[in-house]
Chain A
């Protein structure tokens, strides 16, 4: 099989693609890493309300260096701003928004996603001595829909889209869509359905880099 030339999406393009698919009016929680970049690509006039699990609803962009409010941080412990209309609540109410199914969308990074929607994103070994789960399990199990943004493979080329996660699960059967540096895929009853690919990439070449079976839209 010849490996024809193609151009993978970079981190910003991955974030842009996810951002373009978020409609006005959604309440959205973004995980750390590339998911955080998604907010930068939602125009302010498209009103999307960002949630941070430490009790912030209506999170705005990072403040200017001379306008930092030391009492306003996000879940990643970065300084943030509040948009007009933003609000504060306590931790149990903030997680009620998550666990009660009130968030339209959560976007997380992941180590692995299986073609039944299982996600592994918090520990790389069953024997991890002191794994840190934070709010990942609540978000994965609780949001109305879960999207994942991640590289398609590990650095050594191992597929992160798998038949069955080998790492400890964060939650079962909850991922609805995956944005990778090679493709956009929906998780359906049939498994992964390819919605789009990086320029120049063929389905054959994508499949060659993917453990799980890929399908075309019906």
Chain B
């Protein structure tokens, strides 16, 4: 019997290695797997590359992970969230590397990784400093730049519902990066608000099929709040 549910945070985080690339879903705090980030802090992996839309807020979650010196590099579109004090301090001190990526390009790079597309051409960023050093190609009269897929060794996801096969649903704006992070990561770890029986999610209503999911931990986290 397949059962992707795990019973403890330690089991959920087992085997995450130093030097891993971690894809972190969430937009604002909606659909952000906060418990798993705390689990990663506890687990201890270091020298991480973290890809997320923002670079953390306040002194909790991703900001805490960075403050502990565990993140070598941040890949994000918008490092200035509501309270980016930790990121800005580390960045000014030269203690963290930053790769700024347009939000649509970061989303498509993650999706491409999940779909087995190693790179793609896009018009986004042409003529800007994002294009410096990238391969340019003219296709049907328009110029594009080449962007590489962004693979995760580990993906952290927050779902609304999950079953033991790892089929997932998300709630409203909590979907955001979660489905593509699940697709693009070698080890996809899910915290879910609800664990439901196999078959309880109507096949038409599965947002992420279980093939993209490795581990499911039941965390009835409650509503998001505080951005």
Contact = CB atoms under 8 A, between A and B. Distances in A.
Interface of A: 53-56, 69-73, 77, 82, 88-92, 94-96, 98-99, 118, 126, 129-138, 141-142, 168-172
Interface in B171-192: 171-180
B103 A90 contact: no
Given A69-B172, A88-B173, A172-B126, A130 B88 contact: yes
B198 to A, nearest CB: 23
B102 to A, nearest CB: 4
Contacts of A55: 173, 175-176
B103 A71 contact: no
B43 to A, nearest CB: 26
Given A53-B104, A55-B173, 14 more contacts: A90-B180, A92-B110, A95-B104, A99-B123, A133-B78, A133-B100, A134-B78, A135-B104, A136-B102, A137-B104, A141-B125, A142-B123, A170-B128, A171-B127
A90 B28 CA distance: 14
Contacts of A90: 175-180, 207
Contact of B108 (A69, A77, A95): A95
A131 B173 contact: no
Contacts of A71: 30, 171-174, 223-224
Nearest to A123: B129
Contacts, number: 133
A138 B172 contact: no
A98 B122 CA distance: 12
Contact of A73 (B28, B126, B179, B180): B28
A133 B77 contact: yes
Contacts of A172: 126-127
A13 B82 CA distance: 29
A142 B104 contact: yes
Nearest to A90: B179
A129 B55 CA distance: 14
Kindly name the residue among B108, B127, B225 whose own CB sees the greatest number of chain A CB atoms within 10 A: B127
Interface in B85-124: 87-88, 91-92, 98, 100-105, 107-108, 110-111, 122-124
A72 B82 contact: no
Given A70-B225, A90-B177, A132 B79 contact: yes
13 contacts: A54-B28, A72-B173, A90-B177, A90-B178, A90-B180, A91-B177, A92-B111, A92-B179, A95-B104, A96-B108, A126-B129, A130-B79, A134-B77
Nearest to B54: A132
Interface string B138-180: 0000000000000000000000000000000001111111111
A92 B111 CA distance: 7
A73 B105 contact: no
Contacts of A126: 129
Closest CB pairs A-B (n = 7): A138-B104, A95-B104, A172-B127, A92-B111, A71-B172, A135-B103, A70-B223
A91 B172 contact: no
B77 A135 contact: yes
A129 B30 contact: no
Given A56-B173, A90-B178, A130 B87 contact: yes
B134 interface: no
A95 B27 contact: no
Contacts of B128: 137, 168-171
A53 B105 CA distance: 12
Contact of B102 (A54, A88, A130, A137): A137
Contact of B30 (A73, A89, A132): A73
